[in-house]
A and B are shown apart, each in its own frame.
Chain A
Amino acid sequence: MIEEKCQKFDDNELVALSLDDSQYFYCLMKRYEEKLTNYVKRFTYLPDEDIADIVQESFIRAYQHLNDCDCKLKFSSWMYRIVHNQAINFMKKNKKAVKIDWENDDEFVDWLVADTDIEKETIIKHFNEYVKTVIEKLKPIYKEVLVLKFFEDKDYQEISDILQKPMGTVATLVSRAKIQFKQIYEKEKKY
């Protein structure tokens, strides 16, 4: 019932309505539950129950801080930022390293091979064998940026708002990620 009513409202309108009625916040949660769960899953590799805890804690935190919502940004960027920070805190608290569920995604593979002498076919063929291992060896910040760019389809502005880094830095991180990937890939290939 409420979900039908919510359809006509955009995120920012739902934020304003949620301040008076938590039912509207339920609509916002419904809109982002799956996306955020997949994001945390991809970026933490944690068991489902831990992921559910992180997402739930993030929703509660977002609800408490609705009056502080930086709604000049996209609501989704604000929500991703909260869930990202919550996940990082969880990982630190539980001494777990960021481990990502990389996929043999076409756009990602295209980006990996562009401007390098690595062949696309080689990457696809060896993706599960050692390309994943190479990507795992990248610095955590590079991995975080790559997940947002290629698997969450966020643009540089959104990544900047989520990770709270200048846009120029985000662009630098993406290009450095590839340099580091290439270096590790070449090194690994020798053995």
Chain B
Amino acid sequence: MKKKKSISELTLKTITNKQIKPIPKWEFLAKNWTLWAGILASLIVLIIGLGLVIFGVIDNIISPYFWLIVAVIFFGVSYVLFQKTKRAYIFAKWQVVVTMVLLGLIIGGILFKSGLARRIDKSMETNIPRYRQMAPMKIATWTNPEAGYLSGEIVEINENNFEIKDFAGKAWTIVGKPLVKGRVQMQVGEEIKIVGSQEDENTFEATEVRPWTGRGQNMMKENY
């Protein structure tokens, strides 16, 4: 009686008959590098996104929601891609999530502190036509004279006061001796934010003048 072939013998026969070969090493390496390149790219976008969110929240100049959505999407992409790596399973899910969020917040925070987040925002505004619609500047917060906040462009400088046109197009005379903070150039064409109080329909007494796109660490407290 003919002896029944073992699984190993049958498999070797199949490998030989069908000329099955090991997949070349370079294919696995290419796949692996592509995966890691994807993770790196999506982490960079996540970090930039979080840097711009911090910029939006702390400087209160742009609405952070667009960048928050970008950060959430790329957090998801980074997470899914990382889970496809060979050794991802040795980490608990919460460890991966916490590491990615901390990494994003720390490097994003550095981007904000160094002023790079603001430069990225400016560069996006210059180079991407509809960017400002997606990440609008928070004009409303600074067009609230009753609450003591006003913003606009200097249109005229006089001896004892100056005049601005707010972003809604209304003309204002600014009186008082305000403290000029940041890199404000008191000249026609300069866009500024003013803290103070409304005197009458068209007059505003200023206590502080700040640059429109400048950085102010305490604005959050004053706004809310």
Contact = CB atoms under 8 A, between A and B. Distances in A.
Contacts of B102: none
Contacts of B21: 64
A64 B20 contact: yes
Nearest to B11: A59
A184 interface: no
B14 A60 contact: yes
A21 B110 CA distance: 54
Contact of A29 (B8, B28, B86): B8
Contacts, number: 68
A70 B92 contact: no
Indicate the size class of the contact surface on chain A.
Answer: 20 to 34
B220 interface: no
Interface in A13-38: 18-19, 22-23, 25-26, 29-30, 33, 37
A167 B95 CA distance: 13
Interface string B70-95: 00000000000000001001111000
Contact of B22 (A67, A164, A169): A67
Given A19-B22, A60-B20, A70-B86, A168 B92 contact: yes
Contacts of A56: 7, 10-11, 14
B7 A68 contact: no
A56 B11 CA distance: 6
Interface residues of B, number: 23
Tell me if B's interface is mostly helix, strand, loop or mixed.
helix
B24 interface: yes
A21 B99 CA distance: 44
Nearest to B6: A33
Contact of B92 (A26, A68, A166): A166
A58 to B, nearest CB: 9
Interface string B1-26: 00000111111101110001111110
Interface in B111-149: none
A166 B91 contact: yes
A29 B12 contact: yes
A145 to B, nearest CB: 14
B45 to A, nearest CB: 27
Contacts of B7: 29, 33, 37, 52, 55-56, 59
Nearest to B18: A60
Given A59-B8, A64-B20, 4 more contacts: A37-B7, A52-B7, A67-B22, A165-B89
Interface of A: 18-19, 22-23, 25-26, 29-30, 33, 37, 52, 55-56, 59-60, 63-68, 70, 160, 164-169
Nearest 9 A-B pairs (CB), nearest first? A29-B8, A164-B89, A67-B25, A68-B28, A66-B22, A59-B11, A26-B12, A166-B92, A30-B8
10 contacts: A22-B15, A25-B15, A30-B8, A55-B7, A63-B22, A64-B21, A70-B86, A164-B89, A165-B89, A168-B92
